[in-house]
Structure 1
Amino acid sequence: MKAAILKKFGAPLIVEHVPMPAIGTGEVIVDVVAAPMVSYARDVFSGARNYPLPTPVIPGLGGIGRVREAGPDATHLNIGDWVFCDPTVRSRDDALMPDIALQGWSARGKGGAKLQTYHRDGTFAEQVRIPTECAIPIGHIDASNASRWSALSVLTIAYGGLVALDFRPGETLLVNGATGNFGSATVQVALAMGARCVVAVGRNETVLEDLRRRFGERLVPVRLSEDASTAAMQAATQNPIDAVLDFLPPHVPATVARAAVMSVRPYGRVVLMGGVGMLGGEDLALPYPWIMRNNITIRGQWMYEAKSVTTLIGLIRVGLLDLEQFEVAEFGIDRINEAVSHAFRHAGPFRLTVTTM
């Protein structure tokens, strides 16, 4: 099969023919049709992000394809079924604290690294071998729409945060970092779930205006400045802020995240999914008395629960979540390095760069 290989960090991907993956029990072979290229892939492949990705490797973070072969423990999958290749691989020997690896991309901790030694190669190839539970049926689609369905790779992360928040119809949500890929996707998904109002906080005024144009009066934009305050965020809407989802990137100071967290009402919930503090800087430093006396719930969330993908697909299938919001640029696998550059240059909300096979 044809695959794009990262032989070493700092070198371009090389497309060549490699052996097809061999199936094992508890696994599925998928014919990849479309695989998304994230905007920061250039920094991963250059080594700038210092990702724990062993080389040589076939990278690729999830995708859309059709089942070629399923193992003996698969009871619902059939040959030819369209599936989302979920890159979030979880260890099966500890249901309480499973280790996680992002297949073809990254891993968390020693357990994740061990998992990654086996579930190593990703979706920048004509076929990929994935755990059975990571082949998630999406129903029949036209092959020409496979690239657009790659938006699941972004939408699932946004939806995972909302599920972690226990977000409910009729509530008001504040999205901190709403002008980024994941933040803007969270806006779309929350409104599809029946949000009364979404307060979209971000620095990019053009993107905020675009969000308002796309989603109407239930979207309340708040431009983020260096002196952004909790009071300003609360004043943006007449409704108490029931929940806060933070997607701020690593370079933003903790004070900005703190202002958003503290905008939540008493008995409110907060989920942190961004990268604040990963490049150093001060801690979040939330006041103990405020959390305790106001019964605030704060939790972190990395990725999403496996079952969340299926319910998100349901939102798409009934027409509540519109994939047509996404602008798609396609590159065949022979143009994989062009796709890397394009994804970096054209990063932004509702923009997909996709590698096709």
Structure 2
Amino acid sequence: MKAWKLDRLGGTLAFVDVPVPQVRPGSVLLRVETQSLMSYLKPYVDGALRAYRAPEHFVPGGNAIGIVEAVGADVWHVRPGLRVVASSHLVARENVSEPGQILIGVTSPDAFGDRLQQSWKDGTLAEYALFPAQAVTPIEGLDDHDLPRLTAVTRCVVPYGGLVRGRLAAGETVVVNGATGAYGTAGVMVALAMGAARVVAAGRNADMLSELARVAGPRVRPVALCGTVARDAAALRTAAGGGAHLAFDMVGHASDPNSTLAALGALHRGGRLVLMGSSAVPVPLDYLQVMFNNWEIIGNFMHAQDAYLPLLALVRSGLLDLGPIRPQVFALADLERAMAAAGRAGSFDLVVVTGPG
């Protein structure tokens, strides 16, 4: 098969012939149909993102949709011919207090993850991909959906995991910080699908916020941030109707903590802040402010193993409308051009790489 292999982060990426992976116990072999590209795939490949760790000589690429070609022993429910979505988020199966975790084909957070990567080092930028059975979810009842657009569920599952962890309930108000980024925009869409009464979309690009509010509907209130914590917190509280129940932070590579602190300051007493972005600087907290307001600060990485099941149900029901997503489709062999497009894509754009068909 054809696959993109990277000898190391910051090294050489080449489109080469490699053997098709062989199934082993507990594994599923997929013929990759579609996958969305991370907007930062190019700097990732170039080794410019210091937080990422990956093995040598591996196939990069995270989540994907594909058809099951074969399954290994000890796989009971997934069968050949099924269309599935594969999640790069893998948590070790042992019943221990802190099981190791990785993003297959993307990164490892620690030394144990490095060991896990050696067992599952290759991702999805190939014609076929081998994944552990617990990381794939059947896609049912969605055959009428445009497949490149449906691939947006692989973006939506990330904020879905954070909103679930933040216990977003129907009728609540949520502030989404970083709403003009790809994951932030997906977070706005998913929060609406989950029943949020009002979503305050916060960011620094006023034009993109206006487009988001126009497309997403009247429950979305855009707030263009100025960078001053007190002024931004007051603007967010006003847009939230006096304060929000939940703040969801999806800012990528922030160089200052101001927007995160403003989102925290926009909360009701007893509100929750979920941190899922990638701030490059520490976030200083006012100890007494947090204590007196009974605020809860929650760090969250990715999502539960079964997160795709309820997320796909939201799509089937029509509650999560993927219609606003604009897929830009590239062939697998055209990865270099696709990476460039992903780097300049807007928040509703989805760069999709397709398999051989």
**TM-score scaled by structure 1?**
0.94
Which residue in 2 is equivalent to 1:32? Answer: 32
Alignment of 1:251 onto 2:249: no
Deviations 1:304-331 (A, max 9, x none): 1112221111100111111222111111
Contact kept in structure 2, 1:13 and 1:337, CA below 8 Å: no
How big is the alpha-carbon RMSD for the aligned residues of Structure 1 and Structure 2? Answer: 1.6
Return the letter of the residue paired with 1:164.
Answer: R
In the TM superposition, residue 94 of structure 1 has moved relative to its aligned partner by 3.9
Alignment of 1:271 onto 2:280: no
Which residue in 1 is equivalent to 2:118? Answer: 117
Which residue in 2 is equivalent to 1:73? Answer: 74
SS of the residue 1:189 aligns to: helix
Q: Indicate the larger mover: 188-197 or 10-19.
A: 10-19
Contact kept in structure 2, 1:64 and 1:147, CA below 8 Å: no
Q: 1:53 to 1:152 in 2, by over 3 A?
A: same
Alignment of 1:164 onto 2:165: yes
CA distance in 2, matches of 1:15, 1:222: 44
Which residue in 1 is equivalent to 2:44? Answer: 44
Which residue in 1 is equivalent to 2:17? Answer: 17
In the TM superposition, residue 237 of structure 1 has moved relative to its aligned partner by 3.1
CA distance in 2, matches of 1:333, 1:108: 28
CA distance in 1, matches of 2:68, 2:320: 25
SS of the residue 2:53 aligns to: coil
Which residue in 2 is equivalent to 1:321? Answer: 320
- Which 5+ residue runs of structure 2 have no aligned equivalent? none
Deviations 1:65-91 (A, max 9, x none): 011112232221121111001100111
Which residue in 2 is equivalent to 1:147? Answer: 148
Deviations 1:275-304 (A, max 9, x none): 12x3x4xx3222222222322111100111
Alignment of 1:356 onto 2:354: yes
- Which 5+ residue runs of structure 1 have no aligned equivalent? none
CA distance in 2, matches of 1:184, 1:269: 20
CA distance in 1, matches of 2:209, 2:232: 18
In the TM superposition, residue 344 of structure 1 has moved relative to its aligned partner by 1.2
CA distance in 2, matches of 1:311, 1:140: 13
Which residue in 1 is equivalent to 2:219? Answer: 218
Match of 1:260 among 258, 263, 276: 263
Contact kept in structure 2, 1:172 and 1:239, CA below 8 Å: no
Contact kept in structure 1, 2:141 and 2:316, CA below 8 Å: no
In the TM superposition, residue 9 of structure 1 has moved relative to its aligned partner by 4.0
Length, aligned pairs only: 352
Which residue in 2 is equivalent to 1:291? Answer: 290
**TM-score scaled by structure 2?**
0.94
CA distance in 1, matches of 2:175, 2:145: 35
Deviations 1:131-175 (A, max 9, x none): 101111111554983322221221000101100110000000011
Which residue in 1 is equivalent to 2:182? Answer: 181
SS of the residue 2:278 aligns to: coil
Return the letter of the residue paired with 2:250.
Answer: F
What is the percent sequence identity of the aligned residues?
Answer: 34
Return the letter of the residue paired with 1:234.
Answer: R
Contact kept in structure 2, 1:81 and 1:140, CA below 8 Å: no
SS of the residue 1:242 aligns to: strand
Which residue in 2 is equivalent to 1:342? Answer: 341
CA distance in 2, matches of 1:238, 1:141: 37
Deviations 1:255-275 (A, max 9, x none): 221121121111111111111
Return the letter of the residue paired with 1:303.
Answer: M
Return the letter of the residue paired with 2:3.
Answer: A
In the TM superposition, residue 100 of structure 1 has moved relative to its aligned partner by 1.1
Q: Indicate the larger mover: 193-202 or 49-58.
A: 49-58
Return the letter of the residue paired with 1:28.
Answer: V
CA distance in 1, matches of 2:143, 2:16: 28
In the TM superposition, residue 345 of structure 1 has moved relative to its aligned partner by 2.4
Return the letter of the residue paired with 1:44.
Answer: Y
